[in-house]
């Protein structure tokens, strides 16, 4: 049965970040994910996680200088030292949260730098990082991201991510398949889920309505259908990952907040309880 995690970087934005853990638990979530916890003390956040009785199923490695436009370091030639430090930091936070998965962002191609060189750097860095993850007992994820939201991002298509994971061939490197990005870049979601979940290379799923990245019951994708597909395929192939709800809620604090838009997940949270 699909298991859903609330993405605390996007959901519950009506609360301060540390208060989002309790808010998600009150709404019935048993797991959360978030992008960048590095502005907070890891022990303080670990306490929030434990007090709320939640699992942390995914977090991101530091992405470089976000405000300056960086979107990950893994594929950036000349930034290997910064990349290695980012993995060290991520593994240390993941340890505090007992978080099994870490999303490692590729980066935006620097002006004038050859894509082939970026790809070589990416594979070399991921190979090294997957080895660190093995020692730490974690799994790293790479995620194809759509080029409208992130122009120049170096990984955009599911097939490219699967080729890299196959190439590096480590059980500690998997694909984060975000159906929002996949719909924008490629579509054909049902067929892709049926083909890709059984490969064992998909470590995590994420969802959001398309095109506005609101609740999954908004927009052009029929997620009720896709949840049934995931349910059926998982039962057949044994896929047992989580689905991160990575969307920006339509309702602000004054109109009901994140909780008001959770109708899409209620049937599934009830079935799991």
Ligand X SMILES: O=C(O)C(=O)[C@@H](O)CO
Q: Enumerate the active-site residues.
A: 143, 246
103 contacts ligand X (rule: CB under 6 A)? yes
Please pick, from the candidates 108, 143, 174, 261, the single residue that binds ligand X as defined by CB under 6 A. Answer: 143
27 closest CA partner among 271, 210, 267, 258: 258
Please pick, from the candidates 56, 60, 183, 206, the single residue that binds Mg ion as defined by CB under 5 A. Answer: 206
Number of residues that bind ligand X (CB under 6 A): 10
Q: Compose the 171-190 pattern: x for residues touching ligand X by CB under 6 A, - for all others.
A: -------x--x---------
56 closest CA partner among 27, 86, 24, 84: 24
Give whichever of 145 and 230 is closer to ligand X, judged by the CB atom.
Answer: 145
Sorted by sequence, the CB contacts under 8 Å of residue 165 that are 6+ apart come out as: 142, 173, 174, 175, 201
Give whichever of 138 and 204 is closer to Mg ion, judged by the CB atom.
Answer: 204
Give whichever of 143 and 215 is closer to ligand X, judged by the CB atom.
Answer: 143
Closest CB 234 distance from ligand X, rounded Å: 21
**Among the candidate windows 87-95, 110-118, 202-210, 254-262, which touches Mg ion by CB under 5 A?**
202-210
Compute CA distances 151 → 70, 75, 185, 218, whole Å.
11, 15, 12, 24
Distance in angstroms (rounded) separating the CA atoms of residues 236 and 36? 34
Please pick, from the candidates 86, 178, 219, 247, the single residue that binds Mg ion as defined by CB under 5 A. Answer: 178
Tell me the three state secondary structure of residue 153: strand
Side-chain-side CA neighbours of residue 273 (13 Å): 11
Identify the helix (H) or strand (E) that includes residue 201.
Answer: none
Q: Could you list the residues that contact ligand X (CB under 6 A)? A: 35, 60, 103, 105, 143, 145, 178, 181, 206, 246
């Amino acid at each position: 049965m699909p298991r859903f995690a609330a993405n605390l970087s996007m959901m519950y934005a009506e609360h301060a970040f540390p208060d989002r853990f309790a808010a998600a638990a009150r709404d019935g979530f048993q797991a959360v994910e978030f992008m960048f916890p590095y502005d907070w003390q890891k022990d303080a956040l670990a306490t929030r996680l434990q007090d709320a009785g939640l699992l942390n199923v995914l977090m991101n490695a530091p992405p470089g200088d976000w405000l300056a436009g960086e979107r990950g370091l893994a594929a950036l030639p000349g930034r290997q030292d910064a990349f290695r430090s980012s993995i060290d930091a991520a593994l240390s936070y993941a340890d505090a949260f007992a978080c099994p998965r870490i999303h490692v962002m590729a980066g935006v191609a620097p002006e004038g730098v050859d894509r082939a060189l970026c790809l070589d750097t990416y594979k070399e860095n991921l190979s090294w990082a997957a080895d660190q993850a093995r020692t730490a007992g974690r799994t790293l994820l790479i995620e194809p991201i759509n080029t409208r939201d992130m122009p120049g991002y170096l990984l955009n298509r599911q097939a490219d991510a699967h080729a890299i994971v196959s190439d590096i061939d480590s059980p500690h490197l998997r694909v984060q398949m975000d159906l929002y990005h996949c719909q924008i870049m490629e579509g054909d979601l049902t067929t892709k889920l049926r083909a890709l979940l059984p490969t064992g290379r998909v470590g995590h799923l994420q969802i959001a309505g398309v095109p506005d990245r609101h609740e999954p019951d908004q927009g052009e994708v029929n997620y009720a259908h896709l949840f049934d597909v995931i349910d059926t395929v998982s039962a057949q192939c044994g896929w047992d990952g989580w689905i991160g709800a990575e969307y920006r809620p339509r309702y602000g604090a004054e109109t009901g907040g994140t909780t008001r838009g959770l109708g899409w997940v209620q049937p599934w949270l009830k079935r799991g309880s």
